[in-house]
């Protein structure tokens, strides 16, 4: 997309999703389906994205972002179920908030 910034493209990806209110100023939240949420870090240069999938008994968090905002608190607004973290890989922008959660399934260091 010549002439468009990464940020413009990122925001365009969410234009059809329902924006949800998230406390604090670090995250933007979007609802994809009744049990799937996206949390976006627009103020970080990598504009990281994490996904929360809420199941019947537990919730799965795919990656945890950069570790700057309080992700645990933000998620607590949407589920009171235990959250298991699943990291896609071991780059810092994908596991930065892992320390905020009790249970994590991460791949071997790359």
Percent over 90 (pLDDT), the chain: 26
pLDDT at 42: 81
Q: What's residue 3's pLDDT? A: 46
pLDDT given for residue 107 in this prediction: 63
Q: Please give the average per-residue pLDDT across 51-67, as a whole number.
A: 92
**Could you tell me which residues are beta bridge partners of residue 83?**
59
Class of domain 6-105: alpha beta
Q: What is the CA radius of gyration of the chain?
A: 14
Ordered by start, the domain boundaries in the chain are 6-105
Backbone angles phi and psi of 10, in degrees to 5 = -60, -45
CB 28 within 8 A of CB 42: yes
Helix (H, G, I), strand (E, B) or coil at 12: helix
According to DSSP, the β-strands at 18-20 and 28-33 are antiparallel
């Amino acid at each position: 997309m010549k002439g468009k910034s990464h940020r413009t493209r990122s925001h365009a990806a969410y234009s059809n999703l329902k924006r949800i209110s998230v406390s604090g100023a670090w995250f933007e939240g979007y609802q994809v389906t009744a049990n799937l949420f996206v949390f976006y870090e627009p103020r970080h240069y990598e504009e990281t994205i994490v996904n929360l999938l809420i199941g019947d008994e537990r919730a799965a968090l795919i990656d945890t972002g950069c570790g700057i905002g309080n992700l645990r608190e933000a998620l607590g607004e949407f589920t009171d179920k235990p959250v298991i973290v699943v990291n896609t890989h071991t780059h810092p922008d994908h596991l930065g908030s892992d320390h905020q959660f009790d249970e994590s399934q991460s791949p071997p260091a790359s």
